[in-house]
Amino acid sequence: MSDDEDIDDIVESPAISEDEIEEEDETELNSEDEIEEEEEETDELAPTKIDKPCEHYFEENFKKFASNLDHDLISTLHPREKAINYDQVKSMCAVHRNKDGLIDDPLHTTVPILTKFEYTRILGLRATQIENGSPLFIAVNESIIDSYVIARMELESKKLPFIIRRPLPGGKMEYWRLHDLENLNV
């Protein structure tokens, strides 16, 4: 076969008239319009079916959330995280003693002895403060440069203005000034 014969085969294919092309385009457009109309109808119907249960669901959850807000979860589950201002702490630190010098105070029920944990924590905290340039509470010889030794000297002389918070059962706290506690760790 020659190239001319191939061309003749292509040209001999049945020709489609312009009217037929327009009719096909119109049917395609009509079918596209019908599809769009169906989509619009489903779009209009779908939200009404879904919105009502969702609104009801969200209202129920919001009511549950609002009822949870009524309960003060932080104060019931984590009472140690409740912030107390300085005036309240200051009043809770006051130790009342009887005429014999014994502690007679409902706010101070634990033994007035500095524990090893408290002793270690205070020394570490104060040594860090001294290392960071905090002013000293006692006069120190210039030859003493170790911050731990200086912190220990301040603790032994009861010059540190620290307040110790001790946890009690039931989520209560007890506040002691450092100079009110006996130090048996020396």
* Selected residue with higher pLDDT from 92 and 45: 92
Which tokens sit at 183? 């130090």
* Selected residue with higher pLDDT from 8 and 77: 77
* Selected residue with higher pLDDT from 131 and 72: 131
Q: What is the mean pLDDT of the chain?
A: 77
pTM score, whole prediction: 0.58
Task: Estimate to the nearest angstrom the gap between the alpha carbon of 157 and the chain centroid.
Answer: 41
How many Cβ atoms sit within 10 Å of the Cβ of residue 123? 18
Spatial CA neighbour of 110 closest among 32, 167, 63, 58: 167
pLDDT score for 82: 76
pLDDT digits (tens, 9 = 90+) for 127-184: 999 999 999 999 999 999 999 999 999 999 999 999 999 988 877 889 999 999 999 9
Residues of the chain above pLDDT 90, percent = 36
What's the rounded Cα separation, in Å, for the pair 163 and 165?
7
pLDDT score for 122: 96
With 60 as the cut, is the pLDDT of residue 44 above it? no
Q: Which of 11-15, 51-55, 85-89 has the highest mean pLDDT?
A: 85-89
pLDDT score for 177: 93
How many Cβ atoms sit within 10 Å of the Cβ of residue 160? 20
Give Cα separations from 74 to 45, 71, 77, 169, 174 (angstroms). Answer: 45, 9, 5, 17, 19
Which tokens sit at 118? 């408290």
CATH fold group of domain 83-180: Eukaryotic RPB6 RNA polymerase subunit (3.90.940)
With 70 as the cut, is the pLDDT of residue 67 above it? no
- Are the C-beta atoms of residues 126 and 154 closer than 8 Å to each other? yes
Give Cα separations from 86 to 21, 106, 135, 173 (angstroms). Answer: 90, 20, 22, 14
What's the rounded Cα separation, in Å, for the pair 99 and 139?
35
pLDDT score for 101: 84
- Are the C-beta atoms of residues 185 and 119 closer than 8 Å to each other? yes
- Indicate the DSSP class of residue 182: B
Q: What are the structural domain ranges in the chain?
A: 3-70, 83-180
